[in-house]
Amino acid sequence: MAKIIAERMTVELEGDFVVFLIGMRVNKLWKVWKWWPVAMAMPRMLVELEKKPQLGLLHAYNKFGLRNTMVVQYWRSFEQLHAYATSPDNAHLPAWRAFNRAVASNGDVGIWHETYLVRAGDFEAVYNNMPVAGLGQAGRLIPAKGRKMSARGRLGKSDGTDLPPGS
């Protein structure tokens, strides 16, 4: 079990970064031969990215449901994310091409992604009584004290004393 940090924490991450959400939805459960290859492609990519940190992935974690799976990824830059996705030397492009040949738009299995470009300082996070999680795994956890106590303070919009009474 992950160690719980029994303190209010926030995260620091220098520079711009990218939050990339990518997911799959099984629309026809009985068509295992269609969705299984899609499901197995992402773990291969994540192993590749973990072995090659120079490609730009800062951290990734999975969320699973009955029909849905999603990977939350933090990247150093959009340029690195795009370069990874389009390079014939990496695992993504062959998987993308295989999906388009085998599934494309036939309705058997869905894929999606969302990309968010985050400018330096334009984010805030808080974790309390949590193991290291989310963006805290991509950046550096620090105590949420002083200016970092409130959401507005973490965004540099207050001195951190603007918490609601009793907070």
Structure tokens, 130: 């949590």
Domain 17-118 sits in CATH 3.30.70.100: yes
pTM over cut 0.75: yes
94 token code pair: 């062959």
* pLDDT score recorded for residue 20: 98
Tens of pLDDT, residues 25-68: 999 999 999 889 989 999 999 999 999 999 999 999 999 999 99
Number of helices and strands in the chain (H, E): 4, 7
Q: Report H helices in the chain.
A: 32-51, 78-86, 92-102, 151-154
Distance from C-alpha of 60 to C-alpha of 45, rounded to nearest angstrom: 11
Q: Which two tokens stand for residue 15?
A: 């520079």
Residue ranges for the chain with pLDDT beneath 70 = none
pLDDT of residue 71: 97
Contact 72, 116 (CB under 8 A): no
Residue 36 CB-half CA count within 13 A:
4
Spell out the domain ranges in the chain.
1-14+122-167, 17-118
- What pLDDT is recorded for position 103? 87
User: Torsions phi, psi of 48, nearest 5?
Assistant: -60, -45
Please state, in angstroms and as integers, the Cα–Cα distance from residue 77 to each residue in 16, 141, 145, following that order. 7, 21, 29
